[in-house]
Amino acid sequence: MNQLELKIMMELQAKLEAILFQYGEPMPVKKIIGLLGVERNDFQALLSEWTEALENNPARGLALMQKEDRIQLVTKPDFHSLTQKMIQEEFREELTPTAVETLAVVAYLGPLPKSTIDYVRGVNSSFTLRNLLIRGLVERRAEAEKSNVYHYQVTFDFLRHMGLGRVEELPEYEKYVNLLKEFELGVS
């Protein structure tokens, strides 16, 4: 590989890393290829090269996980005990204001896609949603029409913890649902 090809490959790897990091969930290969503007064969070469580079570099804590036609940026299995320790410490702590806000959006407006949660909050909610998923307060399900789109909703554990029989029993539920409908009409 000459210098120019190496530079292009490294730039594409950096773009791929940025896309996967920002997305925060398994991402369809087809979507990544479209965003990068590369051919499928070139993408496979890029993916193979980057996977090998991540695996063989002890200074990197990341790895690529591929399942069927989706790819996700994950931490290396070598760091499992470290990440488990971090997660256990998170469970001991109270929910942050960010987590409470995200949980409220999901509780009152769910089921809804991450893109809507991000839009309502005005920031990327990937890390917070992951935290809430790990805690068992929210769950995600693939949308029936689009298997690569997930909708988030509160879990039975959340309802049980709140002492509710169903989501509609949340305080001022109707008020907030109606506000959403008005908001959706105004945006359309």
CB 96 within 8 A of CB 81: no
Distance CA 187, CA 16 (A): 32
In the sheet that holds 150-154, the strands lie side by side as: 112-113, 150-154, 138-142
Query: pLDDT per residue over 17-75, tens digit each?
Result: 999 988 877 889 999 999 999 999 999 999 999 999 888 888 888 888 888 888 988 88
Domains of the chain, by residue range, sit at 3-78, 94-187
Query: pLDDT per residue over 34-45, tens digit each?
Result: 999 999 999 999
Does domain 94-187 correspond to CATH entry 1.10.3720.10?
Answer: no
Third-level CATH fold of 3-78 = Arc Repressor Mutant, subunit A (1.10.10)
The pTM for the full model equals 0.54
Spell out the SS3 assignment of 34-90. Answer: HHHCCCHHHHHHHHHHHHHHHHCCCCCCEEEEEECCEEEEEECHHHHHHHHHHHHHH
Asked whether this chain's domains 3-78 and 94-187 adopt the same fold, the reply is yes
